[in-house]
């Protein structure tokens, strides 16, 4: 069952419902599916949480996931973990589950649509200044753009845009290309080999989710911490590296 034809590059092109400019395509539908699963699963599991020493397996799983993400965020953010944690964790979980379900026939990952990845990248693009300004104030945040001199201002601005573009395209390219590879392989060698590629796809999906979330966190951290670090950690003498 192929929802997205081999010549269609994005699930955006699969229109399910259209009314004026309102178009419900496969991307939105699968996004809602993932959202629904995440929210309903969360509600189901967190409905009867235990703070005792014994707990259900599902709670244990969630605690492991949440705890791991939290500690990863903490490693980068150093402080104010719980400010950034929900944002980063939501990015990670959404992308992760979008990617993982690709082994289900008929499912198309919303992240294989450039629209979705662009939307997520733009969210990160806005989240960085929002967190930076709320943490250090607008002046401090803007000052970062002319560090070390004002000449660097255009590079900073370009960097902001290019890294957002990179975020969007990296995720889109990986997932989309993987799906296309699977589709082509199914056509060429229908037995065994696509299964291995599917397994590889799970790994790629996990890595891409991790990369996206971690990069978002790094960007936020750079916006909130750069100034403090230069204040607290004056330049250290670095040893010359022999090549």
Q: Taking the complex as a whole, how short is the minimal distance between the CB of residue 127 and other proteins, in angstroms?
A: 10
What lies within 8 Å, CB to CB, of 2 at 6+ separation is: 183
Q: Taking the complex as a whole, how short is the minimal distance between the CB of residue 1 and other proteins, in angstroms?
A: 22
- If the CB atoms of residues 25 and 224 are measured against other proteins, the closer one turns out to be 25
- If the CB atoms of residues 70 and 144 are measured against other proteins, the closer one turns out to be 70
- If the CB atoms of residues 10 and 174 are measured against other proteins, the closer one turns out to be 10
Q: Taking the complex as a whole, how short is the minimal distance between the CB of residue 173 and other proteins, in angstroms?
A: 11
Q: Taking the complex as a whole, how short is the minimal distance between the CB of residue 86 and other proteins, in angstroms?
A: 5
Q: Taking the complex as a whole, how short is the minimal distance between the CB of residue 162 and other proteins, in angstroms?
A: 17
Q: Which residues bind other proteins (CB under 8 A)?
A: 9-10, 12, 21-23, 25, 27-28, 31-32, 35, 38-39, 42-43, 46, 49-53, 55, 59, 62-63, 66-67, 70, 82, 85-87, 89-91, 93-94, 110, 113-116, 118-120, 122-123
Q: Helix 26-46 crosses helix 114-136 at what angle (to 10 degrees)? A: 50
- If the CB atoms of residues 85 and 141 are measured against other proteins, the closer one turns out to be 85
- If the CB atoms of residues 35 and 202 are measured against other proteins, the closer one turns out to be 35
């Amino acid at each position: 069952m192929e929802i997205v034809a081999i010549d269609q590059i994005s699930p955006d092109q699969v229109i399910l419902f259209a009314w004026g400019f309102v178009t419900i395509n496969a991307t939105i539908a699968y996004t809602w599916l993932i959202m629904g699963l995440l929210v309903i699963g969360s509600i189901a599991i967190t409905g009867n949480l235990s703070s005792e020493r014994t707990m259900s397996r599902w709670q244990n799983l969630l605690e492991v996931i949440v705890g791991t993400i939290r500690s990863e965020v903490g490693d980068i953010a150093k402080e104010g973990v719980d400010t950034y944690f929900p944002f980063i964790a939501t990015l990670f979980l959404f992308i992760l589950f979008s990617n993982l379900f690709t082994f289900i026939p008929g499912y198309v990952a919303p992240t294989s649509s450039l629209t979705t990845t662009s939307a997520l990248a733009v969210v990160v693009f806005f989240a960085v200044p929002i967190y930076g300004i709320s943490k250090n104030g607008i002046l401090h945040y803007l000052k970062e753009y002319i560090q070390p001199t004002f000449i660097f201002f255009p590079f900073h601005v370009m960097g902001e845009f290019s890294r957002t573009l990179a975020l969007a395209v990296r995720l889109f390219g990986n997932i989309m290309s993987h799906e296309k590879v699977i589709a082509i392989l199914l056509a060429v060698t229908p037995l065994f080999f696509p299964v291995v590629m599917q397994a590889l796809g799970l790994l790629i999906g996990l890595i891409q989710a991790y990369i996206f979330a971690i990069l978002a966190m790094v960007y936020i951290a750079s916006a909130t911490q750069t100034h403090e670090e230069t204040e607290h950690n004056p330049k250290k003498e670095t040893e010359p590296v022999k090549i």
